[in-house]
Amino acid sequence: MDLVKELDKDIVEAMKAKDSVRLATLRGVKGAMKLQSIDHKKEINDELLIEVVSKEIKTRNESIKEFEKGNRQDLIDKTRVEIEILNKYLPEQLTQEEILEIIEQAFTEVNPSGMKDMGKIMGIVTPRVKGRADMGMISSLIREKLNS
Protein backbone atom coordinates (compact mmCIF):
# COMPACT_ATOMS: atom_id res chain seq x y z
CA MET A 1 0.00 0.00 0.00
CA ASP A 2 1.11 3.54 -0.73
CA LEU A 3 2.63 4.98 2.48
CA VAL A 4 1.29 8.49 1.84
CA LYS A 5 -2.26 7.13 1.47
CA GLU A 6 -1.73 5.03 4.59
CA LEU A 7 -0.66 8.19 6.46
CA ASP A 8 -3.85 9.98 5.41
CA LYS A 9 -5.95 6.98 6.43
CA ASP A 10 -4.21 6.81 9.80
CA ILE A 11 -4.87 10.53 10.39
CA VAL A 12 -8.59 9.95 9.83
CA GLU A 13 -8.54 6.92 12.16
CA ALA A 14 -6.74 8.93 14.85
CA MET A 15 -9.38 11.67 14.56
CA LYS A 16 -12.20 9.16 14.90
CA ALA A 17 -10.50 7.50 17.87
CA LYS A 18 -9.79 10.91 19.44
CA ASP A 19 -6.14 9.84 19.85
CA SER A 20 -4.60 13.29 20.24
CA VAL A 21 -0.94 12.22 20.49
CA ARG A 22 -1.13 10.05 17.38
CA LEU A 23 -3.12 12.70 15.50
CA ALA A 24 -0.68 15.50 16.37
CA THR A 25 2.31 13.34 15.44
CA LEU A 26 0.88 12.29 12.08
CA ARG A 27 -0.31 15.81 11.23
CA GLY A 28 3.16 17.09 12.07
CA VAL A 29 4.69 14.62 9.62
CA LYS A 30 2.19 15.55 6.92
CA GLY A 31 2.92 19.26 7.46
CA ALA A 32 6.68 18.71 7.39
CA MET A 33 6.27 16.67 4.22
CA LYS A 34 4.28 19.44 2.51
CA LEU A 35 6.83 22.03 3.61
CA GLN A 36 9.69 19.91 2.30
CA SER A 37 7.80 19.41 -0.96
CA ILE A 38 7.31 23.15 -1.44
CA ASP A 39 10.77 24.25 -0.27
CA HIS A 40 12.70 21.74 -2.36
CA LYS A 41 10.19 21.33 -5.22
CA LYS A 42 9.90 17.62 -4.52
CA GLU A 43 6.93 15.44 -5.32
CA ILE A 44 5.02 14.08 -2.32
CA ASN A 45 5.70 10.35 -2.47
CA ASP A 46 6.84 7.47 -0.28
CA GLU A 47 10.51 8.43 -0.63
CA LEU A 48 9.82 11.95 0.69
CA LEU A 49 7.69 10.52 3.51
CA ILE A 50 10.51 8.19 4.57
CA GLU A 51 12.99 11.07 4.46
CA VAL A 52 10.75 13.29 6.62
CA VAL A 53 9.93 10.51 9.09
CA SER A 54 13.64 9.72 9.48
CA LYS A 55 14.36 13.37 10.30
CA GLU A 56 11.44 13.52 12.74
CA ILE A 57 12.68 10.41 14.57
CA LYS A 58 16.23 11.79 14.70
CA THR A 59 14.91 15.05 16.18
CA ARG A 60 12.88 13.19 18.77
CA ASN A 61 15.86 11.03 19.77
CA GLU A 62 17.88 14.20 20.33
CA SER A 63 15.01 15.60 22.38
CA ILE A 64 14.98 12.50 24.58
CA LYS A 65 18.66 13.08 25.41
CA GLU A 66 17.84 16.64 26.49
CA PHE A 67 14.80 15.51 28.49
CA GLU A 68 17.00 12.97 30.30
CA LYS A 69 19.37 15.78 31.30
CA GLY A 70 16.39 17.70 32.68
CA ASN A 71 14.98 14.59 34.37
CA ARG A 72 11.63 14.93 32.58
CA GLN A 73 10.31 11.37 32.44
CA ASP A 74 6.85 12.54 31.30
CA LEU A 75 8.31 14.12 28.14
CA ILE A 76 10.60 11.14 27.54
CA ASP A 77 7.62 8.76 27.63
CA LYS A 78 5.54 10.98 25.30
CA THR A 79 8.42 11.29 22.83
CA ARG A 80 9.03 7.53 22.82
CA VAL A 81 5.35 6.97 21.97
CA GLU A 82 5.71 9.41 19.07
CA ILE A 83 8.79 7.55 17.80
CA GLU A 84 6.86 4.29 17.98
CA ILE A 85 4.07 5.84 15.88
CA LEU A 86 6.56 7.13 13.30
CA ASN A 87 8.48 3.85 13.00
CA LYS A 88 5.46 2.36 11.21
CA TYR A 89 6.30 4.47 8.14
CA LEU A 90 9.94 3.45 7.85
CA PRO A 91 11.14 0.43 5.89
CA GLU A 92 12.58 -2.43 7.89
CA GLN A 93 15.85 -1.32 9.47
CA LEU A 94 19.11 -2.99 8.47
CA THR A 95 20.95 -5.18 10.95
CA GLN A 96 24.48 -4.35 12.09
CA GLU A 97 25.82 -7.20 9.93
CA GLU A 98 24.02 -5.93 6.81
CA ILE A 99 25.35 -2.42 7.37
CA LEU A 100 28.92 -3.66 7.82
CA GLU A 101 28.58 -5.74 4.65
CA ILE A 102 27.42 -2.68 2.63
CA ILE A 103 30.31 -0.63 4.02
CA GLU A 104 32.75 -3.43 3.17
CA GLN A 105 31.43 -3.49 -0.44
CA ALA A 106 31.93 0.28 -0.70
CA PHE A 107 35.50 -0.05 0.58
CA THR A 108 36.15 -2.73 -2.06
CA GLU A 109 34.79 -0.44 -4.81
CA VAL A 110 36.65 2.71 -3.73
CA ASN A 111 39.82 1.22 -2.21
CA PRO A 112 40.31 4.31 0.00
CA SER A 113 43.73 5.64 0.93
CA GLY A 114 42.61 7.77 3.86
CA MET A 115 40.04 10.17 5.30
CA LYS A 116 39.98 12.15 2.05
CA ASP A 117 37.97 9.29 0.50
CA MET A 118 35.21 9.51 3.14
CA GLY A 119 32.91 11.39 0.73
CA LYS A 120 33.32 8.77 -2.01
CA ILE A 121 32.44 5.97 0.37
CA MET A 122 29.45 7.86 1.82
CA GLY A 123 28.30 8.52 -1.76
CA ILE A 124 28.17 4.78 -2.41
CA VAL A 125 26.75 3.72 0.97
CA THR A 126 24.06 6.41 1.39
CA PRO A 127 21.69 5.34 -1.42
CA ARG A 128 21.93 1.71 -0.30
CA VAL A 129 20.95 2.40 3.32
CA LYS A 130 18.83 5.57 3.08
CA GLY A 131 15.88 5.39 5.46
CA ARG A 132 16.94 1.98 6.70
CA ALA A 133 19.78 2.97 9.04
CA ASP A 134 20.99 5.88 11.13
CA MET A 135 23.39 7.88 8.96
CA GLY A 136 25.29 9.14 12.02
CA MET A 137 26.10 5.58 12.97
CA ILE A 138 27.05 4.76 9.35
CA SER A 139 29.38 7.76 9.24
CA SER A 140 31.10 6.80 12.49
CA LEU A 141 31.54 3.18 11.34
CA ILE A 142 33.13 4.37 8.08
CA ARG A 143 35.36 6.86 9.92
CA GLU A 144 36.43 4.12 12.34
CA LYS A 145 37.27 1.77 9.48
CA LEU A 146 39.23 4.48 7.63
CA ASN A 147 41.31 5.23 10.73
CA SER A 148 42.24 1.58 11.33
Residue 129 and residue 138 in contact, taking contact as beta carbons nearer than 8 Å: yes
Which of 87, 108, 135 finishes a domain? 87
* Span between the terminal Cα atoms of the chain, in Å: 44
* Domain CATH code at residue 114: 1.10.10.410
Q: For the chain, how many structural domains are there in total?
A: 2
Give me the domain span that covers residue 132: 96-147
What one-letter code names the amino acid at 123?
G
* Whether 100 and 81 share a structural domain: no
Question: Whole-prediction pTM value?
Answer: 0.76
> Is residue 36 over pLDDT 60?
yes
What one-letter code names the amino acid at 92?
E
What one-letter code names the amino acid at 28?
G
Q: pLDDT tens across 87-120, in order?
A: 998 888 888 888 889 988 988 888 888 788 888 8
In 10 A of CB 86, how many CB atoms? Answer: 19
